[in-house]
Amino acid sequence: MSQRKTAVVVCPGRGSYNRPELGYIGQHLPAESLFTSQLAEFDALRTELGVPTVSALDSAASFSSAVHLKADNAAALIFSAGLNDFAQINRDKFDIVAITGNSMGWYTALGCAGVWQGSDSMQLVTGMAQLTANAAGAQFIYPLLNTDWQPDLDKQARLAEQLYLHQGALFMSIAYGGYAVLAGTQSAVQQAMQALPPCDERFPLLLPGHAAFHSPLMQPAADQALARFGEQYFATPQLPLIDGRGVIWPSQLAQPSALKAYTLGQQVCDTFYFSRAIAVAVKEFAPEHLILLGPGSGLGSAVAQSLIAINWQGLSSKQDFSVAQQAAMPFVLSMGLPEQRQLLL
């Protein structure tokens, strides 16, 4: 048996289950999967809660934005798809040394590390999606890099200006590779989006169905979550975790009470530094691979940009990263890309 490769697993956030991902769980659920019984538990709990089951949503005849992008449905699909992908990583080939994620991907990371377990985990995912969806504000995304994924000082200055002009109403929500995700009141978001010059025919891009995640506007949702979910919903992690501050939670040692306070409190209301989490992952754990869970493969560019920003293994541009990814066993392996998925099973 060849030696196992070390890997850090990275989980995607709330926008990762879209029209192309319909059926993702069903397509990637082998008959003898460890995840099958967990999916049945999730479906039973959601039936009890009076919301559509994960299986029904994933196996729908067609994709409906109103149904599939609804906060608690999207969150349940993304969480389930991530856990299913995680269960299928071949542990004879890969030694998983840590887990991190982007935004809601922190919840998937908690599920993979055994902090959230059984149907309780789906109770938390569904409950948090409902609480945060009812919160105020909106979120939009704007690039801070040029086409070769190097810093664009003009874009950065314009974004900083908007944050300055709308202090207390507009916030840096997620530092997502070469993109800034901003959150704020409806009015501040609208004004900032009008003021920022359009680029790539896509940006500034409003994120549909998103409230002002990772900003002080979420405090009421955080307060309700902390009151509703007790410490018994949290267990000690079985694998190290890297959170949205770049802080490492050691396996077997991190306290469930501290994980609860961070996950339902601080993490909901503060900036999520995804790029920093990736930098900490590669610098502190020096993995031979980063494994990106599905659904989809949207994490790839933000992860690559985070690596380029710290000049990881000499990467300094989009071109460098593309060349590096042509290797037979690339550094970044995505479960959402069929040819790379095969290398992970």
Question: For a pLDDT cut of 90, what percent of the chain falls above it?
Answer: 93
Q: Is the peptide bond before 295 cis (omega within 30 degrees of 0)?
A: yes
- Answer for the pair 184, 73: CB distance below 8 angstroms, yes or no: no
Residue with tokens 């930098």: 279
pLDDT for 2: 62
If you average pLDDT over residues 149-154, what whole number do you get?
95
pLDDT by residue (tens digit) across 237-295?
999 999 999 999 999 999 999 999 999 999 999 999 999 999 999 999 999 999 999 99
Residue 1 has pLDDT above 60, yes or no: no
**Residues 82-118 as b or e (16 or more Cβ within 10 Å = b):** bbbbbebbeeebbebbbbbbbbbbbbbbbbbbebbee
- Answer for the pair 160, 99: CB distance below 8 angstroms, yes or no: no
Mean pLDDT, the chain, integer: 95
The token duo for 265 is 């409190």
- Answer for the pair 104, 176: CB distance below 8 angstroms, yes or no: no
pLDDT by residue (tens digit) across 206-227?
998 889 999 999 999 999 999 9
Domains of the chain: 5-134+219-344 (3.40.366.10), 138-213 (3.30.70)
pLDDT for 31: 83
